[in-house]
Structure 1
Amino acid sequence: MADTISFSRGAPSADIVDIEGLKQAAIEAFEQDPAGVAGYGTSIGYVPLRRWIAEKHGVPEDHVLVTNGSMQADAFLFDELVAAGDAVVTERPTYDRTLLGLKERGADVHLIGLQEDGIDVDELRAALEGGLRPKLAHVIPNFQNPGGSTLSLEKRRALLALAAEHSFVIFEDDPYVDVRFTGESLPRMLELQPGGQAATDGPVVYACSFSKTVCPGVRVGYLVGPPALIAKIARRATNTYIAPSQVAQAIVHRFVSGDRFPTALQTVKDALAERSSTLADALRTHLPEATFVQPEGGYFLWVSLPEGEGHDCARIADEAAARGVQIVKGTDFLLEGGESAFRLAYSAVTADKVDEGVRRLAEAVAAAKA
């Protein structure tokens, strides 16, 4: 069996994580705030990190809740806002865990097409005019998982206008925003909403994570939103776990507020840029029939093969695994369809292994059709 090359998980390889910086941050956290780090804390999260996040986003601290990873933040928000039978909009395709979480809660999920510049607002507008009344629209605006696309400024404004007209919440799920490696940054919908990011009754609830910028193992994420909603979710968090991990959050706080973080983040972005470019070149060479969006950041690339030619992503995944390559099936990110697609995460594959991985993958595609 050849060495395994995994394009399956959206996590940075250990060689681009600042391990020494995290070790130093841990020492500093325990030395400078032993009682705060070692104690239970409260459900709002580690107070200095909450304050740092509030300052980053220009909001009062009561707009912020720090959680055990952004998936925990997602779960709290869904539990608070989505009841069985409620209509919810997501992108098509979207993150598989989002679909799973919504389906487990009995939501009536409506997938709206994803284009190169983000969710198809014309399709959404037509659905709304046709009677769709969602409680929530879940959108991954930057370097979407799995599609790789970024929501344009025009569409950000259009989505906000639709939310105002039809009274639904925009869940701006944005864990990849700080790993942009090309192009210009765009304002968050949180900032563009009426009243700006500090609005007390705006339609946007924002989530982010330190898993993609610091390391996945810290499991620290957060929500920013209207303080009344954040207070409700904080009570839910208290009843769930009393408080999130103060140790992990204190380490993150020391790391992101220290001198090493800018260089550590740039190391991650440089590596991702190289891996993404190498992956795109390898696909053009070994799978020229494939189409994909070249991402400007993030961790993922969505590969579509020509439809109507008998492609089956499940068979492709099996054939790839037999050749030591791991991918994720396109069907995992959709309620139906996706048989001619799959997601490749380039974050954990060093550039020197990318071409070999795609060469084997091309063999798998051919074998799956045979």
Structure 2
Amino acid sequence: MTSDLISFARGAPSLDIVDIDGLKAAADAALTTDPGGATGYGTAIGYPPLRKFLAEKHGVAEEQVLVTNGSMQADAFLFDELVEPGRAVVVERPTYDRTLLGLRQRGADVRAVTLDTDGIDTEELAALLESGVRPTFAHVIPNFQNPAGYTLSAAKRARLVELAEAHDFIVFEDDPYVQIRFAGEPLPTMLELDGGRGRVVYASSFSKTVAPGVRVGYLVGPADLIARIRVRATNTYISPNMLAQAIVYRFCVDGGLERSVATVNAALRERADVLCDALAKHIPDARFTKPDGGYFMWVELPDGVNVGELLTAAEQRGVTFVKGTDFLLDGGESTLRMAYSGVRTDQIEEGVARIADALGSLRVSAG
């Protein structure tokens, strides 16, 4: 492997687009204005001012919000509360690999429903429900989905909420990328469309907009569900990282979040453009849909390409990505996820060219 590894594998912003100065100022403000709250244990609800800020942002009561150590912790608490061994849970096909892992570890009967370029196939889901399957919840990443980069359409959002009401299940709206939009118009959340009926649990994160290292995420849901999860949180860690949450709060209210989102979105728009152009140039038979935001793009290579062999050959040439098979229960042998968030613009074409060279070597070997 060459020493200058180009990585399309990690869904994280590169350091050059993280607002370090803004975070320094936010940390100083947090420790100056509320040293006790920022450095104390606190409670499992999270840092109270941030919880209130999020409740106001989503138009819900504070009792409906729980702030956690990253959205993956929020996911884990929700899964622990809702997953019943042997009972169905719906996911998108493909979906985030950690979601699959968490659900399978808890014994869920995972039912994967096709993901189209405009989101989960709601009519396939409707047919599954009509067949008698009764899921506890459907896990959906509505904006710039991980791993595919696709966005759930407005019509499908409304249809999902309708199906949840008709068939008595919860929509788990996992939405960490919602603010990373660089094309098109924002769409209403399913939490908003639900109108307080309690059919939607919403999760998001500041890892993608502030910095991954802050590890601040949150859940919004029915007050009784959040109260039960709060007990789990108390028994897990007494309280989450109050200092990080206090810094994030000051970053938000002092204008840092708006500046950070603008910086990240401008950079990722450029990176997505360069990636699409490089794929079209170097791997013209690759199929992909240019994303309107987020960190990721799903790439389909011609049938017969073994993505495991391709990854090995690519890493020998100093470039890496994540195999599409990691995000699926089965299939996907010719697919891959490319994250453009953590790679500089000047590295992208070189990285794609290395993948193309690796692909060419496999084709030569196949003869």
Give the alignment partner of residue 268 of structure 1, picking from 264, 267, 271. Answer: 264
Q: Give the structure 1 partner of residue 344 of structure 2.
A: 350
Is 1:224 the equivalent of 2:208? no
CA distance in 2, matches of 1:44, 1:365: 50
- Residue number among 201, 204, 208 corresponding to 1:205 in the alignment: 201
Deviations 1:130-185 (A, max 9, x none): 11111110000000000111000000011111111111110000000001011010
Contact 1:149 1:295 in 2 (8 A): yes
Say whether the 8 Å CA contact 1:8–1:327 is kept in structure 2: yes
> How far apart are 1:93 and its partner, in Å?
0.2
Displaced runs of 4 or more, over 4 A: none
Report the alpha carbon displacement of residue 339 of structure 1 after superposing the two structures with TM.
0.6
* Equivalent runs, 1:109-120 vs 2, <5 Å: 109-120=110-121
Structure 1 CA distance for aligned equivalents of residues 256 and 73 of structure 2: 27
Mapped partners of 1:73, 1:261: distance in 2: 21
State the 1:110 CA deviation: 0.5
Q: C-alpha displacement at 1:2, in angstroms?
A: 4.8
Match for residue 241 of structure 1? 237
Distance 2:217 2:35 in 1: 22
Alignment-derived partner of residue 100 in structure 2 = 99
Cα distance per residue 1:235-282 (max 9 Å; x no partner):
000000100000100000000111333122100000000001110111
Paired with 2:167 and 2:35, the residues of 1 have a C-alpha distance of 49
Task: After superposition, give the CA deviation of every residue in 1:176-195 in whole Å (9 maximum; x if it has no partner).
Answer: 000101101000000001xx
* Counterpart mapping for 1:77-92 below 5 A: 77-92=78-93
Equivalent in the alignment of 1:7: 8
Report the secondary structure of 2:298's partner residue: strand
After superposition, the CA RMSD in angstroms is 0.8
**What SS does structure 2 have at the residue aligned with 1:94?**
coil
Deviations 1:95-137 (A, max 9, x none): 0000000000000000000101000111111111111111110
Partner of 2:124: 123
Amino acid at match of 2:208: K
Give 2:61's aligned residue. 60
Q: Which runs of 5+ in 2 are unaligned?
A: none
Q: Does residue 1:284 correspond to 2:285, yes or no? A: no
TM-score where L is the length of structure 2: 0.98
Separation (CA, whole Å) in 2 of partners of 1:355 and 1:270 = 18
TM-score under structure 1 length normalisation: 0.97
Q: Is the CA contact (8 Å cut-off) linking 1:219 and 1:248 kept in structure 2?
A: yes
For structure 1, the 5+ residue unaligned runs are none
Paired residue for 1:252?
248
CA distance, structure 1, for counterparts of residue 150 and residue 230 of structure 2:
32
Partners in 1 of 2:256 and 2:204 — Cα distance?
21
Contact 1:2 1:323 in 2 (8 A): no
- Residue 363 of structure 1 is matched in structure 2 by 357
How many Å separate the matches in 2 of 1:212 and 1:104?
A: 26
